[in-house]
């Protein structure tokens, strides 16, 4: 009897002492939260205090030292405002990185003013070719009009034959189209020069030592060459 009784007592003793260590361990791991509520009362708890959700709370270690500061819990509107501010900041960082990249690429493409002027002339030449084609087409239309006018003189005071009238109307429409083309091409020359002037002013600051991305956005001087080529081909017809 003594043997089984002794084993039973030892089991009860082990079961009684083991749980006693768990609360002690949990207590040492948990912090103490403290804050001052809206009425000026200092509140203390072993967990975050709901009455101070909108206030800063201090979490202390068991020895009273500061473990961390718990920021106020944000409302839904405050969270939305913070998220919007974070998105704006991210967009600004991305825009700044893009400005740095563009400026570096610009300086690689144009290491000096001579290379920039060469690119300007190449862009302008695209329009000049279109203008030459337009001038040539205008001369062709003028040559086509002479015999039509001479034939129309024969019918002076009478109705023109349908075929002749159709030819004259078509010539008038083509001449008007070339006039519009000339106006567009002249405007394009102005646009290209303006773009390259703005870009050159930007580049001169970078060449002088300004940091890439510090000057704000730069206007690209490259014109839409394929679009101009299509316009020139269309005007020449």
Residue 21 lies in a domain: no
Indicate whether 143 pLDDT > 70.
yes
Which tens digits make up the pLDDT trace of 62-117?
888 999 999 988 888 988 998 999 999 999 999 999 999 999 999 999 999 999 99
Residue 120 and residue 230 share a domain = yes
Which range of residues forms the domain containing residue 182? 98-236
Cα separation, 16 vs 14, whole angstroms: 5
Residue 141 and residue 47 share a domain = no
Residue 104 and residue 66 share a domain = no
Residue 88 lies in a domain: no
State how many domains the chain has. Answer: 2
Residue 11 lies in a domain: no
The closest alpha carbon to 174, from 138, 200, 143, 206, belongs to 138
Q: Which residues contact 59 (CB under 8 A, 6 or more apart)?
A: 31, 32, 33, 66, 67, 68, 69, 70
Residue 44 and residue 114 share a domain = no
Q: Is the pTM of this model over 0.75?
A: no
């Amino acid at each position: 009897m003594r043997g089984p009784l002794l084993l039973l007592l030892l089991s009860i003793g082990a079961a009684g002492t083991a749980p006693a260590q768990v609360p002690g361990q949990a207590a040492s791991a948990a912090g103490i939260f403290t804050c001052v509520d809206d009425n000026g009362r200092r509140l203390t708890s072993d967990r975050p205090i709901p009455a101070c959700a909108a206030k800063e709370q201090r979490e202390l270690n068991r020895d009273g030292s500061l473990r961390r500061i718990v920021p106020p819990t944000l409302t839904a509107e405050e969270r939305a405002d913070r998220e919007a501010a974070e998105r704006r900041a991210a967009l600004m960082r991305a825009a700044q990185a893009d400005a740095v990249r563009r400026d570096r690429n610009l300086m690689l493409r144009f290491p000096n003013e001579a290379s920039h002027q060469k690119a300007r002339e190449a862009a302008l030449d695209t329009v000049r070719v279109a203008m030459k084609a337009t001038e040539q087409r205008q001369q062709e239309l003028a040559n086509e009009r002479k015999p039509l006018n001479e034939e129309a003189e024969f019918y002076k005071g009478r109705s023109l034959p349908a075929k002749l009238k159709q030819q004259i109307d078509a010539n008038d429409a083509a001449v008007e189209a070339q006039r519009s083309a000339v106006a567009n091409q002249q405007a394009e020359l102005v646009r290209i020069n303006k773009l390259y002037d703005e870009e050159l002013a930007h580049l001169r600051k970078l060449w002088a030592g300004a940091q890439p991305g510090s000057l704000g956005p730069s206007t690209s001087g490259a014109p839409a060459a394929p679009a101009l080529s299509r316009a020139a081909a269309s005007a020449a017809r």
